[in-house]
């Protein structure tokens, strides 16, 4: 394990201890779900902040696109976002839902690629 063996063993013991607390303490499952939900909210907030920062940094470039290309860009981002939100429902609905999910993500990526390709060529 290297020179930090005690540190690694300590970290493993902490993870095992937390797992035992969730498993043995009454209500531990509910607490773990609550913590998981809070971490999910923080993660989604981070992704939204990243999107905001990217938009603000590249705003001039986005406004420099033709209106048609900008509309396609926004539509593809919206399609990808809605598809990612509906991932669980689409995959749980069976084969058709999974195929539609793949088609929607593929269409969003293809549209984004088309906008990027037209941006790079004059």
pLDDT digits (tens, 9 = 90+) for 18-65: 888 878 888 777 888 888 899 989 999 999 999 999 999 999 999 999
| Co-location of 70 and 53 in the same domain | no
| Co-location of 91 and 118 in the same domain | yes
**Is 76 within 8 Å of 108 (Cβ atoms)?**
yes
| Co-location of 41 and 83 in the same domain | no
pLDDT (tens digit per residue) in 65-88:
999 999 999 999 999 999 999 999
Q: What is the pLDDT of residue 111?
A: 96
Radius of gyration of the chain (CA): 22
Q: What is the pLDDT of residue 53?
A: 97
Q: What is the residue range of 12's domain?
A: 1-57
| Co-location of 71 and 53 in the same domain | no
| Co-location of 48 and 14 in the same domain | yes
Q: How many domains does the chain have?
A: 2
Calpha distance 42→44 (Å, rounded)? 6
Please say if the pLDDT value at position 1 is more than 60: no
């Amino acid at each position: 394990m290297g020179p930090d063996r005690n540190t690694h063993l300590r970290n493993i013991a902490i993870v095992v201890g937390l797992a035992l607390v969730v498993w043995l303490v009454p209500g531990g499952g509910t607490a773990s779900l609550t913590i998981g939900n809070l971490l999910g909210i923080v993660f989604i907030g981070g992704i939204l902040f990243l999107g905001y920062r990217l938009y603000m940094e590249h705003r001039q470039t986005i406004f420099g696109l033709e209106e048609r290309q900008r509309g396609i860009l926004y539509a593809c981002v919206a399609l990808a976002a809605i598809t990612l939100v509906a991932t669980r429902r689409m995959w749980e609905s069976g084969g058709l839902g999974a195929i539609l999910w793949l088609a929607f993500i593929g269409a969003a990526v293809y549209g984004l690629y088309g906008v990027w390709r037209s941006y790079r060529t004059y």
